[in-house]
Amino acid sequence: MKNYVWHKQVIAPDFELINCPDYDPIKDFRRDPTGAYVLIRCDLEQSLIEVAVCDKKHTIVKAFQGRKAQDLYYSIFEYEKKHKQKWFSRKDHAAYLGKELKKCEYALLRKEVYVQE
């Protein structure tokens, strides 16, 4: 096993390196129990990322726009908390949002078409 060294950290006695299996986006997908989901698109003309939050009835309940992934997910999560919404009850759902927003941000920088997974 590698000698894991980080700045000033100590390795726990029960430390374990876990090899993760490949994620299958079809087989391993789990819908958020809240039924909420997001639609993400790039507005290349205005250099903006747009995120629509949809409910389980496929109604867009809120939309957010910004230039950077971090600005958007921070604003979405803060709005959700402040207004006591329950859009993201699963950690993998929140991680998916961050991943897709970053892909969209890169597409904007390169002036490329973005397609949401």
* pLDDT exceeds cutoff 90 at 53: yes
Q: Is 40 helix (H, G, I), strand (E, B) or coil?
A: strand
Q: Can you give the pLDDT at residue 5?
A: 67
Task: Among 3-17, 58-72, 97-111, name the one with the lowest average pLDDT.
Answer: 3-17
Which residues are within 8 A (CB) of 89 and not within 5 positions of it... i.e. 6 or more apart?
Answer: 32, 33, 34
Q: Can you give the pLDDT at residue 6?
A: 66
Q: Which of 53, 55, 51, 52 shows the shortest CA–CA distance to 33?
A: 55
pLDDT in tens, 73-100: 999 999 999 999 999 999 999 999 999 9
Average pLDDT estimate for 49-53: 98
Q: Can you give the pLDDT at residue 11?
A: 80
Cα angle 79, 83, 89; round to 5: 75
* pLDDT exceeds cutoff 60 at 1: no
